[in-house]
Amino acid sequence: MIAQPRASRFNVLRLPVVGTFLRWRYSRFVLQVPLFLLALLAVFDGFTGRQIAPVNVATVSVWVHYRGLVALAIALVGNLFCAACPLMLTRGPSKFFSRFIPKLEFPKWLQNKFLVLGLTVLFLFCYEFFDLWASPFLTAWLIIGYFAAALIVDTLFAAGTFCKYVCPLGNFNFAISGASPTQITAINANVCTSCEGKYCLNGRLETTTTRAPLFGNRSEHVLLELPMAGEGHATRGSFPGCETDLFVPAIASNTDCTLCLNCVRACPYDNVALEVRSPIQEAITARPKADWALFITVLTWAGLVNAFAMIPTFFSFATSLSSFLGTRSEAVLLVVIQGFGILGGVALSSLAARLSGAKLRDYASVLLPMCLGIWGGHYLFHFITGYATLLPNIVTALQHLGLPLANLPKPSIPRADGIFPVQVVITYVALAASGYAAFQKASVSSNGDSRSLIFKLLPQVLVLLVIATITLLIFSQPMQARGSLLT
Ligand code: SF4
Ligand code: SF4
């Protein structure tokens, strides 16, 4: 069935100034450069600055600001970090190296989310085991490793392989942006049906400067051999398509969308919108593939395990577990605690799906708001307790580089006790959103049978209540203000 034109929906790309900037072909580069310079400074300070987490740009920018701002941006706007990701500046060098190294096909058996799921869990283990948040030196190496991995993967394989199948940060962003209020969509599906080149996916070589009409018909388009898009794109050259293989008219979620806006620039019919949507739309309508459903579920429970490791109960529990198992090995204790928390959570979610007469993938998307709430509420704590430290640390690092800058006043130590009420509100809003999504899913599958609806909904509500209760218990305890002056 051909969908009707959706021009009435609010399109961020139609906003004056902001829309014009986003459609400009160099907007991504402009956003990437400051983050790239910050990454360079973080590496410099990580290697040469004081090895104290709250006074080093590496640890403060990566573990305090990056994480907090990512969650905030995704909750309010969308996947802005991937949009401005400085790692993608390795595209230039990887294209250069690709002239000498033939591209390989990424192994079929790895073209799913299981590899990145394993890397994400490994990262969470390393974060605790090596105390990455406390080590500027290791954080600097992590930044370098990340750039090297992006360069190597996208040199050997097709561009976008790193983002889609390898990058834990990107896939973390894809998952929690399932509850963000924007999404790439086609404005008019009829235009896509008659589009000869599927340029949003395949890319477009520009050969003319004639402007295509917004809602033109097929005959108008055929007249333009490879038509030019709106004024914002009026530059000669080629426009790459979607590197993560998304075809705009088929997009139903934010999964794999880096908000690079390549599709916007490649579409010659100006038919791509960055549409404002309900943040719970995806939670209600999505039915992810099994691998992505598992990723969402693991990430939700891992959010609880990650936050749990920063409260006093964790340390008393780890001490008791150490006596019980007769080992003082931190690695063993971490594997047991993280493994039990994550696998136990996945087992509980799977059981709930089974009791609802469904599979894990049928209800995994209802966790999206809860997942954003857990990670967002947690990161908010670190961001608020550490936000004031970045600028003074940047100034100090630039002074080490020889720039004649005056010292900024020492940041005041922020109070942490006002954050809990905000975390409570976030948790309840997330619980309500996930609960509503579960209700909608259960309603659809029970076909108006209220008894069936109750039996399908009850297990989902119970699991969500368990998650929300654990979240509030964790947030209510004093948390290590890692990377801030409160540590
Ligand atoms: S979004 Fe544009 S390029 Fe993609 S199929 Fe539709 S009309 Fe064609
Ligand atoms: S090109 Fe692909 S990844 Fe980039 S904004 Fe469009 S759909 Fe998202």
In the block, which residue shows the tokens 């990058």?
A: 167
**Is the CB of residue 249 below 6 angstroms from any atom belonging to ligand 1?**
yes
Q: Is the pLDDT of residue 114 over 80?
A: yes
**Among 81, 233, 106, CA closest to 162:** 106
Compute the distance from residue 123 Cα to the ligand 2 centre, in Å.
26
Q: Assign 481 a pLDDT band (cuts: 50, 70, 90).
A: low
Q: Is the pLDDT of residue 483 over 80?
A: no
Q: Is the pLDDT of residue 84 over 60?
A: yes
Mean of the pLDDT values across residues 89-104? 90
**Among 289, 301, 307, 294, CA closest to 127:** 307
Q: Is the pLDDT of residue 228 over 90?
A: no
**Residue ranges in 267-366 assigned as alpha helix (H):** 281-285, 290-308, 312-325, 330-355, 360-363
Give residue 205's Cα distance to chain centre: 30
In the block, which residue shows the tokens 């002239």?
A: 99
Relative to the CA of 199, which ligand 1 atom is closest? 3
Q: Assign 224 a pLDDT band (cuts: 50, 70, 90).
A: very low
Q: Which residue's alpha carbon is at the smallest distance from atom 2 of ligand 2?
A: 242
Q: Assign 147 a pLDDT band (cuts: 50, 70, 90).
A: very high
pLDDT in tens, 339-381: 999 999 999 999 999 999 999 999 999 999 999 999 999 999 8
Which residues are CB-contacts of 431 (< 8 A; sequence separation ≥ 6)? 370, 373, 464, 465, 467, 468
Q: Which residue's alpha carbon is at the smallest distance from atom 4 of ligand 2?
A: 260
Note the pLDDT of residue 181: 97
Compute the distance from residue 15 Cα to the ligand 1 centre, in Å.
21
Mean of the pLDDT values across residues 201-215? 62
Mean of the pLDDT values across residues 114-122? 98
Q: Which residue's alpha carbon is at the smallest distance from atom 6 of ligand 2?
A: 263
Relative to the CA of 204, which ligand 1 atom is closest? 3
Q: Is the pLDDT of residue 317 over 80?
A: yes
How far is Cα 63 from Cα 5, in angstroms, rounded to an integer?
43
The percent of residues in the chain predicted with pLDDT above 70, rounded, is: 89
CA angle 359, 360, 362 (to 5 degrees): 70
How far is Cα 387 from Cα 385, in angstroms, rounded to an integer?
6
- Mean pLDDT of the residues in the chain: 89
Which residues have C-beta atoms less than 6 Å from ligand 2? Answer: 184, 242, 244, 246, 257-263
Compute the distance from residue 260 Cα to the ligand 2 centre, in Å.
5
Phi, psi dihedral angles at 264 (to 5 degrees): -60, -45
Which residues are CB-contacts of 325 (< 8 A; sequence separation ≥ 6)? 332, 333, 336
Percentage helix, strand, coil, to 5, in the chain? 65, 5, 30
How far is Cα 167 from Cα 142, in angstroms, rounded to an integer?
13
Note the pLDDT of residue 227: 39
Adjacent-strand bridge partners of 183: 275
Greater confidence (481 vs 245) lies with 245
Note the pLDDT of residue 468: 98
User: Is residue 427 helix, strand or coil?
Assistant: helix
Q: Note whether 398 and 38 are within 8 A (CB).
A: no
Greater confidence (99 vs 300) lies with 300
Which residues are CB-contacts of 273 (< 8 A; sequence separation ≥ 6)? 6, 9, 11, 12, 13, 14, 184, 185, 186, 187
Q: Is the pLDDT of residue 415 over 80?
A: no
Compute the distance from residue 224 Cα to the ligand 2 centre, in Å.
24
Mean of the pLDDT values across residues 121-141? 95
**Is the CB of residue 198 below 6 angstroms from any atom belonging to ligand 1?**
yes
Give residue 2's Cα distance to chain centre: 31
| Dihedral of alpha carbons 190, 194, 200, 206, sign | negative
Note the pLDDT of residue 213: 43
Q: Is the pLDDT of residue 456 over 60?
A: yes
Q: Which residue's alpha carbon is at the smallest distance from atom 1 of ligand 2?
A: 242
Note the pLDDT of residue 485: 54
**Is the CB of residue 186 below 6 angstroms from any atom belonging to ligand 1?**
yes
Which residues are CB-contacts of 300 (< 8 A; sequence separation ≥ 6)? 345, 349, 367, 370, 371, 374, 467
User: Is residue 211 helix, strand or coil?
Assistant: strand
**Is the CB of residue 215 below 6 angstroms from any atom belonging to ligand 1?**
no
Which residues are CB-contacts of 480 (< 8 A; sequence separation ≥ 6)? 310, 311, 487
Note the pLDDT of residue 207: 58
Q: Is the pLDDT of residue 164 over 80?
A: yes
Note the pLDDT of residue 231: 34
Q: Assign 484 a pLDDT band (cuts: 50, 70, 90).
A: low
What tokens appear for 265 in the block?
């620039």
How far is Cα 225 from Cα 228, in angstroms, rounded to an integer?
9
What tokens appear for 290 in the block?
């099994």
Compute the distance from residue 259 Cα to the ligand 2 centre, in Å.
5
303 residue type, one letter: G
Note the pLDDT of residue 6: 54
Note the pLDDT of residue 226: 41
Q: Note whether 244 and 235 are within 8 A (CB).
A: no
Note the pLDDT of residue 55: 87
